[in-house]
Structures are given as structure tokens and as C-alpha cells.
Chains A and B, each alone.
Chain A
């Protein structure tokens, strides 16, 4: 099933020329199956430096899976993904894409920050330890320096002074903000957010979105999967709409939320508005 680039003309085109310098993430014709069911059906997306791309779409549309492919938490069966100019998860050998070595994959993931729906903080470590762990062990940064950076990040996400709290002692919103700080501490080229507010109580959604909004304003390159339509409309440079494993429309928030006449998009938006109103 592990197809080659050669089978996909669009992907083959991208293998040769190096991506433009200001393109941080480039996915071309990505296909993925879970067993017999196809979850990604030729997804292509390219994200420029400093851009905030928000992916919306109904549940099961493949948006989470797609974002997880971008740092190779999921394998792909066809297509090409490049982050920062490097293939991720695969390397080219004799014109074919073959699975990369675990060590190389780990190295490439350093540059891709990921924030999960369920935070996934290390339960046996304090907030500070969560943040400095990878910079110290992976980037080989001195502990003092890592701790100073971590404290700065904690105050940036509004948690200065909570550095000694364990995840269990923090609210969901606070945990998610620590998780964002943890990802930022690696100084990633791009941040991926996989439904960062879906597991939160409603009153905590705002504090997490505020942090993400600020990152967008600071020029961080981001891909955000979310169900928060107001947030998408406000923060996105570009909104991407996925349905049934494919991108069905994309463009400015105005285009997607106002102008587009795409029937499935309109149906989806009508449904979310109904839910928001009820």
C-alpha cells in the first residue's frame, strides 16, 4: 500500500524543486487510509511563514488526521509532506519515498510544535519541568538557560508563578497553556494545534484562544484545527474547509464564511450556527 511519489504526478513535481523559502509547510496530494477506509483523499496545502491557517470542517472530515500527518504521528500512503524544506517521515531513495529512520524523524519533529486536544502534559513533572525537558534533553540547552526561557514563556501564557504546579493541580485551560509553552520552548518553525479547546470547559476556552491569538499577532506560523468559528473568522489569514478527507474550499475568512456558495460548506456552517444559537 505504501505508494511512491512516482504514482502521484503532483507529488512528483514537488520532489525535485526546493520549496520556496517562505513556505514552511507543504503538503502535496496526501492520501491516507485506515485499513480499508480512506481518511485523506489527496490533500494539498502550503503554509507560508507567519501565516495562520485555520482548518474547519465536520467531525470525521480528516482535519485532525491531516495535522497529525504533518509531524508524522500518522503515516501516509501517498503524497509528500515537507516542513521547513525537509521531507517528514520519509526520505527519497531511488525516486521513491521510503520510511525515514526514527532518529531522523525525531530530529525533524523538533521544528514542529504540536498542541493536543487533551494537553498530554507529563503527569510526573511540574509545569516548569514539562517545558524544559525537551530543550535540555533534545536541544541540549543548559538547564539554567532553559529554565529562564521556560519562566518567560509561562508568564507569556499568563502562568507566571505556577512553575512548580503539577498538571493535576492545574485547570484544563492552565494545562493547555503550559502545553503551548512546552511546544514553544523548542522554538518550532510552525505550531500545530489539534482542536486545542475541544476538551475544555466553556469558561476556559477564552484564555487558551487568547494565547493562540497573541501568537498569531506575533507572526508565529500556525495551523489550527478548531470548531470555534468566531475564532477562525477573527484570527485566520486563511480558512481551509475539509470534508470527507478532502479540502473542499479555502480562502480568506470573508470568502469562507460569507461569499462561498459551496453547498457542503454552507450546510456545515448552518449546522454550527444552529448549535451556537441553541
Chain B
């Protein structure tokens, strides 16, 4: 076995700007897709809970397809498949100083759609965990369904949603590498392009592994901090009332922006 230590240290500690751009793209892809995916998941969860049957069925179908097919297949299908069938082509978009490449758009779309299906189930479980009596009380006070969701149910569902949401983002960081298949220059594709020029596969894949380990570790620390503020100490199990300090934090977040 030959392990080129100087090569390894060089790429680990003095990454090129190309490599750092790949890292940045990985983070941006993950964050943006997680945000879209969460929004999509909320919409799908509410649709699943809707009494209007077509809406309910559409949400179930979406969740069924997205959870039942490989993410890699979804990525290629959305970018290459749809273009090949002349259904949809992703063109580069210029937003002044920012250029968003077509394959980046497709990658974000695929990751978001996939994430939305998993988030839908997580959010649905969170909503179901809130005591139905509170929703009835809110209705009896004349609150509409939308208002009681926003003010009563979702703020309390959040504390059950946050821990799995953190877990999903950890997965998202790693799954974002799959968009390398459609040429999005994120960390793995950059690594692979350096690999094809140097053939130092062992060293390069150790480095990229360590980079991802660093990302997920940092996120893990952040997650612990977030959960400490949101998650219930739960002396009485699920459905137990949230403790005090956390509730303030939660309320601040929910109320941010609203008068």
C-alpha cells in the first residue's frame, strides 16, 4: 500500500479554490433543498390531512412515488429524462451577479421533491401528536382551520418535528453528492475530477470523506443546540407539555415577524 501523505495533507489542509467552491455548492444545495423540501413537506402534510379527497390522494401519490423510487433515478429522470423526452429543459438562469446553472436547478428540484415526501410524513406525525382537544377548543372559539393550524397546532407540532428534521438535513448533506451524476460541480464531482487527473483515489476519497464528516459533525453540534431549546424534557411522555425555557424560544421563533 502506498499512501502519499504529503498529497493527502496538501488536499486536506490547502484545498484549491475549485475544491472550496465545490464545498460551498454542497452546502448551498443542501440548505436550499432542505428549505424547499420542508416547505413542500408542510404543504403535502396539510394536503394529506385535507378532507378534500383529490388533494388528499394527490399528496399520497406524491409521497408514494418519491419514497418508493431511488433518489439517483429521480435526479437523472428530472434532468436528463425530461429533456430527452422534450418535456422540460433546464436553462441557465442569470440573476444579476449570480448564475444558476440548469443542472443545479434540476438538482435542487430533485433533492427538494425527494425531501418533501419524507418531511411530509414527519410533519404529519408532529401534527397528529398535538392533542385534538386543543384544536376543538380553538374551533369553538371561532378560529378557522388555517388560523388554528398556524397558532395552536403547528407551534406545538414543531417540537416533535425538529429532531427528525435535523436528522433529515444530515442525510441531505450526504445525498447531495448524488447530483454529481448530472454534472453539478459539488464536492464529490470536484474530487472525482482531481482523481481522474492524479489517480490518487485512496487519498482523495479519504479527504472528501473527512470533509463530509466535518460538515455532519458541525451540523450535529448545531442540532444539539437547537434541540436543547425545542425538544421536550418529556416527564410524562409524548404529548406532555413542553417545559418553560424552550417554549419561550419556540414562541419567539413562531412569532418572529408577526405583530
Contact = CB atoms under 8 A, between A and B. Distances in A.
12 contacts: A102-B145, A106-B139, A110-B141, A112-B140, A123-B156, A124-B242, A124-B247, A133-B141, A138-B142, A138-B147, A182-B137, A186-B141
Contacts of B251: 124
A121 B151 contact: no
Contacts of B247: 124, 166
A114 B145 CA distance: 17
B142 A166 contact: no
Contacts of B137: 114, 116, 120-122, 179, 182
Contacts of A102: 144-145
Interface of B: 131, 133-134, 136-145, 147, 151-152, 155-156, 241-242, 244, 247, 250-251
B141 A73 contact: no
A170 B136 CA distance: 21
Q: Is the interface of A mostly helix, strand, loop or mixed?
A: mixed
Given A102-B145, A116-B133, A109 B156 contact: no
A108 B143 CA distance: 10
A73 B136 contact: yes
Contacts of A106: 139, 142-144
A133 B251 CA distance: 13
Contacts of A186: 141-142
Contacts of B140: 71, 73, 109, 112-114, 183
B142 A124 contact: no
B133 A134 contact: no
Given A112-B140, A133-B151, A120 B134 contact: yes
Contacts of A110: 141-142
A262 B145 CA distance: 44
Q: Is the interface of B mostly helix, strand, loop or mixed?
A: helix
Contacts of B145: 102
A273 interface: no
Interface residues of A, number: 31
A137 B131 contact: no
Interface string A252-269: 000000000000000000
A120 B139 contact: no
A269 to B, nearest CB: 31
A93 interface: no
B256 to A, nearest CB: 15
A107 interface: yes
B241 A167 contact: yes
A244 B247 CA distance: 45
A134 B156 CA distance: 17
Interface in A187-239: none
Contacts of B244: 166
Interface in A91-111: 102-103, 106-110
A168 B143 contact: no
A124 B143 contact: no
A49 interface: no
A122 B138 contact: yes
Contact of B141 (A118, A166, A182): A182
Nearest to A108: B142
B136 A120 contact: yes
Contacts of B134: 120-123
A109 B139 contact: yes
A99 to B, nearest CB: 11
Nearest to B145: A102
Given A116-B133, A124-B155, A124-B247, A134 B141 contact: yes
Interface string A65-100: 000000101000000000000000000000000000
A182 B137 CA distance: 10
A221 to B, nearest CB: 16
Contacts of A121: 134, 137
A133 B152 CA distance: 10
Contacts of B131: 120, 123
B133 to A, nearest CB: 4
Nearest to B250: A124
Given A118-B133, A120-B136, A124-B247, A168 B141 contact: no
